[in-house]
Amino acid sequence: MNLLLNILLYGKDFLGLGMELFDKSDFIELIVPFGVNLFFSFIIIRFIYYPKAGRKDYLFTYVLFSIIVFFLFHMLSSTKLSTGAGLGLFAIMGIIRYRTDAIAIKEMTYLFVIIGLAVINALSNKKVSVTELMFANFTIMGIVFLLEQAWMLKQETSKIVTYEKIELIKPEKYGELVADLNDRTGLKIERAVIGKIDFLRDTAQVRIYFHEDSSKTTA
């Protein structure tokens, strides 16, 4: 009873962990910079990068990297790490770079999210309130869910194909090019980008973009 009363009145020593349930000033110091970071990151990624690059898979990656890195550094600023702990954190993040098998960018992003969440929760201490910790966890989980469900981030996959009908790579024949690729691959091609052109062999490298649903349908 005394513990419950203490939590409700003062938010101190939550469940005997020595963590405050809610610290107003610390929470404001978290959400204000977070909002600024998210706003400008989203503007840059969605309205500057994406219209030029057109890579939806990287939208997912860049948004989540921005959020995870923000929360990691926020937690680190509230935690005094030993040299060993710092080296351990560096080694954990090195898993992403030095993985054995090559994985798709989206799967790599999920790996980074899971590692980041584990580090964020492990770094929680008495200087971090329960509200801040829960805000970080639910925000990351919520944004991952929203990005997965958003129409603009519908699973789009790309592949590079060697295309021999080089006469169709002309801009005025783009419609014919996409129609031919649709027919020959059995996929619903959303767009095609011409890459390297080899006039000696009369071939071109074409990157085709399609939604994963269409590839599953034709499989």
Tell me: the pLDDT tens digits for 31-88? 899 999 999 999 998 888 888 777 777 888 899 999 998 988 887 776 666 555 666 6
| pLDDT tens series, the chain, 219 aa | 454 445 444 455 555 555 677 677 778 888 899 999 999 999 998 888 888 777 777 888 899 999 998 988 887 776 666 555 666 666 666 666 655 556 677 788 888 898 888 888 887 766 777 888 899 999 999 998 888 876 555 666 788 899 999 899 899 999 999 999 999 988 888 889 899 999 888 899 998 988 766 554 444
Q: 161-186: string of b/e by CB count within 10 Å (b at 16+)?
A: bebebeebbeeeeeeebbebbbeebe
Backbone angles phi, psi at 161, to 5 degrees: -120, 150
Domain residue spans of the chain = 2-153, 156-218
Q: At which residue do the structure tokens 């030993």 appear?
A: 82
Number of Cβ within a 10 Å radius of residue 54: 15
β-strands 203-211, 156-163 pairing? antiparallel
Q: What is the pTM of this model?
A: 0.64
